[in-house]
Amino acid sequence: MKRRWKKFLAGVLSAALALNLAAPLALAGSSTMGAACGVTNVLLYPEYVGRVDDNERVPYIQGEVSYDHGLLTFDGDVTLTTVGPADTGTISLVEALGEKNLRLVANGKVTGSTNSDGFDGAKEIVRGKYDLTNTYWNNTSKGISGGDTGTTIASDTEITLKGFQTGIGWGSVQIDGKVKITNAECGIANFTTMNHGSELVIHAQQYIGEQGHLTYNGGHLLLNVTTIGMDFGLSRLGIGENVSRFWYRTDDDAGYTEIDTSVQEKLDSFFEVKETNHAYLELTDVDPDRQESETYALLVAGTQVTKSNQNDVLEDGGSVKFDPTTNTLTLNDADLTLDGAAGGYCCIDSQLAEELTITGTATLSNADGILTEGPLTLDNATLTLTGNIDGDVGEDAIRAGRSDENITIQNSTVTIAGTNSEGNFFQFGIRCGKLTVANSTLDVKAGGSAIVAADEMEVSGAGTVITAETDASEEQDYYALELGRLIMSHGLDLVEGKMNESKKAKIARPEQAPTDFKVYWVVHPGDEPVNGGMQFPGAITGSEEEARLFEGWFLEDGTRLEDSPYYMGPGANHVGNLDRDVTFYGHWRTAESGEGSPDGGDGFGTLLAVGAVVGVAGVVAYQVGTELILDQLLPAGVAVPHTRAELAMLLWNTAGRPAPATLPAFADVADPELAQAAQWAIEQGYLKARADGSFKPDKGVAKWRVIRGYRAVTEP
């Protein structure tokens, strides 16, 4: 549908900002030809990607708004207005123009003020809270106008429309979320459908206009007129095929009447009632006589979890069970597949404020996967989540809160992917505040960012493997790992990719870790002290000992045991003088190692180190030495370098990016910053120069070299 845009005050723009249709962003006053959409007085063109509000030419947008290929995102609280000293005229707050699949996402609350329309032509309002107000009575203003192919107000969306002549008009609109229309002349003036779980409240002079129709497929509908005497439009309220039973009342103090839609007499009796001009009408598809405690704020495959069905939610023999005492959902080979056309848009939808725990095995498909209001824990769960088989992209596979609640995944296997070779992926794989993964396997692929943890992601457990990948193009700001911080332990490492940068990433134990190397100890947990000291492990042997050269025992700072105050003399098999827990590391190197044994007295061998934590309480724990040292040495979230290029960049950046003494000239380094870092690292002796003049940026480096180099830079 077309809108005429009133010219913005000419004085706002200088001649240097003359508009042309090829520009990715322009202000109202130019032709809308070729524009994808408009936001207040800003026209966005298809090729535009980025912030909409980050320049002084956009005074009518307060807060962060961004656009990316049909996705308009409001981050945090945002205010939109077309009302002010320089009135922008009859401009919608948001209008779809050339972009017929415009989707709106709010990660907070959007407050809109206009003297015209609210949202016009969006394909979907995905989530968020929207409070839109018309400040000037306009006999054609509409709060929401349906798009050319329909508009969906999703289940995670709340919209309040105040003062518009018509609340919802034009096109067709499907309501799965919550909509409240107040101070309107007409509530509905188009074809609107509301589904189970939705809520529609209308306070207007007329519920449904002469050209409108409201189909009730479930949910909570409340109609209340503001002016008595006219046709309220109840004859244009229809009951859909997908509702089998509902309850209604015509007074807020009256009891409800139950209607079984399979009984024609019952249905006819309701039709007779609605033909009467009732100033109040309320419908619900949830038994109003059921005690609130008997209904839990949890939907599984579109089915409300209640006290009566909690032991067999889907009535299929017990594939889904819910324990309200622990808020635990148990899945037994459950197949949670939904049909969006039937009103289901989330396989597991929890509005519980408390933490929800999911355990067991299930397949979730053809809808958003798991959405929770509060924290989420997956414990001993095996879950496979796939995109929509009908081709429409799902929004989230797993999300906690508004991406701000925590998710814990432990002893579980989670697979998130598309359903076919074309890749009907979820927009996002996992989104939360903090993500904790322990002893689990995650394989996540999404159209947008695969794993988003705004606060941090903490991973542990030697067997944990996480692979993440985005199907987004290099130009799009989506990443495999979009994290505030990354914390890894138990020898785990970011072995592929970089957080907040790479399209593909993997977290696991480094591939060079010799998983078949067996270690034999002289001492075991609980051994008693010997001669006032603590017995320590003896020699290391294993299946590959002939290829490894044992270097000896070292303290964390690189001091040899023999040079430490804990050494009790030649031939002693114990340490002494323990005033605290002390960690000793056994180091060895491969005889064929190209890096060789470290020099300079720092005492580290290459490759791995097996550690024994010897405590005054007589407890011995074992860890991977160099991995532990690096975990403690490097700042949180900094990946351990595995190549000469990565080590050079780490040391150079840490040192403050100093200029090398001579200009670099490496034939195999094209990046100018890497070339400077490499030249500087060689000049400082952190890396060796090569005789052929090349740098070999992808050649591996030993961990002892990383430790020694980083300490030399940070502890001169």
Digit-coded pLDDT (tens) for 26-65: 655 556 678 888 898 788 888 888 888 755 556 788 889 9
Check residue 533 and give its pLDDT.
45
| Residues 132 and 181 placed together within one structural domain of the fold | no
Is 516 part of a structural domain of the chain? no
From the list 247, 190, 195, 202, the residue with the least C-alpha distance to 216 is 195
Whether 94 contacts 39, CB under 8 Å: yes
Check residue 173 and give its pLDDT.
95
Average of per-residue pLDDT values in the chain: 78
Rounded distance, CA 432 to CA 131, Å?
25
pLDDT, tens only, 137-146: 656 889 999 8
Q: CB within 8 A of 109, min separation 6: which ones?
A: 77, 78, 128, 129, 130, 131
Whether 566 contacts 576, CB under 8 Å: yes
Quick one: CA torsion of 686, 687, 693, 698, rounded to 10 degrees?
-140
- The answer on pLDDT for 612 being more than 50 is no
Is 514 part of a structural domain of the chain? no
Q: Bigger pLDDT: 11 or 534?
A: 534
When pLDDT is cut at 50, 70 and 90, the band that residue 15 belongs to is very low
| Residues 448 and 317 placed together within one structural domain of the fold | yes
pLDDT, tens only, 648-664: 999 999 999 999 998 88
When pLDDT is cut at 50, 70 and 90, the band that residue 222 belongs to is very high
Query: Domain boundary at 256, 272, 289, which?
Result: 289
| β-pair type (61-68, 49-51) | antiparallel
Check residue 388 and give its pLDDT.
60
Q: Bigger pLDDT: 286 or 633?
A: 286
Q: What's the rounded mean pLDDT across residues 371-392?
A: 83
Whether 449 contacts 473, CB under 8 Å: no
Q: CB within 8 A of 212, min separation 6: which ones?
A: 169, 186, 188, 189, 190, 191, 192, 233, 236
Q: What's the rounded mean pLDDT across residues 468-477?
A: 89
Is 193 part of a structural domain of the chain? yes
Query: Domain boundary at 99, 115, 136, which?
Result: 136
Check residue 591 and give its pLDDT.
40
Whether 179 contacts 219, CB under 8 Å: no
SS3 readout for 586-642: EEEEECCCCCCCCCCCCCCCCCCEEEEEECCCCCEEEEEHHHHHHHHHCCCCCCCCC
Q: Which of 122-136, 351-365, 384-398, 454-468 has the lowest mean pLDDT?
A: 384-398
Please give the structure tokens belonging to residue 451: 């794993």
Task: Please count the residues of the chain.
Answer: 716
Rounded distance, CA 589 to CA 545, Å?
10
When pLDDT is cut at 50, 70 and 90, the band that residue 18 belongs to is very low
When pLDDT is cut at 50, 70 and 90, the band that residue 595 belongs to is very low
When pLDDT is cut at 50, 70 and 90, the band that residue 559 belongs to is low
| Residues 65 and 106 placed together within one structural domain of the fold | yes
| Residues 695 and 557 placed together within one structural domain of the fold | no
From the list 153, 100, 92, the residue with the least C-alpha distance to 127 is 153
| Residues 173 and 256 placed together within one structural domain of the fold | yes
- The answer on pLDDT for 609 being more than 60 is no
Is 684 part of a structural domain of the chain? yes
pLDDT, tens only, 71-100: 999 998 999 988 764 455 578 899 998 888
DSSP code, position 563 = G
| Residues 225 and 371 placed together within one structural domain of the fold | no
Check residue 415 and give its pLDDT.
94
When pLDDT is cut at 50, 70 and 90, the band that residue 685 belongs to is confident
Ranked by mean pLDDT, the top range of 7-16, 285-294, 380-389, 542-551 is 380-389
| Residues 297 and 285 placed together within one structural domain of the fold | no
Is 489 part of a structural domain of the chain? yes
DSSP string, 38-97: EETTEEE-TT-EEESSSSTT-TTEEEEEEEETTEEEEEEEEEEES-SSS---S--SEEES
Check residue 374 and give its pLDDT.
93
Whether 119 contacts 125, CB under 8 Å: yes
Check residue 50 and give its pLDDT.
86
582 has which bridge partners?
Answer: 614
For the chain, how many structural domains are there in total? 5
| Residues 469 and 337 placed together within one structural domain of the fold | yes
Q: What's the rounded mean pLDDT across residues 263-284?
A: 88
Check residue 201 and give its pLDDT.
95
When pLDDT is cut at 50, 70 and 90, the band that residue 275 belongs to is confident
| Residues 309 and 222 placed together within one structural domain of the fold | no
Q: Which of 115-119, 572-576, 644-648 has the lowest mean pLDDT?
A: 572-576
Is 520 part of a structural domain of the chain? no
Q: What's the rounded mean pLDDT across residues 210-232?
A: 85
| Residues 165 and 65 placed together within one structural domain of the fold | no
| Residues 312 and 454 placed together within one structural domain of the fold | yes
When pLDDT is cut at 50, 70 and 90, the band that residue 483 belongs to is very high
- The answer on pLDDT for 112 being more than 70 is yes
Q: What's the rounded mean pLDDT across residues 179-188?
A: 92
When pLDDT is cut at 50, 70 and 90, the band that residue 191 belongs to is very high
Query: Domain boundary at 460, 492, 508, which?
Result: 508
Task: Give the domain range for residue 88.
Answer: 1-136
- The answer on pLDDT for 608 being more than 80 is no
Is 529 part of a structural domain of the chain? no
Check residue 171 and give its pLDDT.
87
Rounded distance, CA 664 to CA 678, Å?
8
Check residue 630 and give its pLDDT.
61
When pLDDT is cut at 50, 70 and 90, the band that residue 20 belongs to is very low
Using a pLDDT cut of 90, give the percent of the chain over it. Answer: 39
When pLDDT is cut at 50, 70 and 90, the band that residue 365 belongs to is confident
106 has which bridge partners?
Answer: 74
- The answer on pLDDT for 25 being more than 70 is no
| Residues 562 and 577 placed together within one structural domain of the fold | yes
Q: What's the rounded mean pLDDT across residues 184-212?
A: 91
Is 521 part of a structural domain of the chain? no
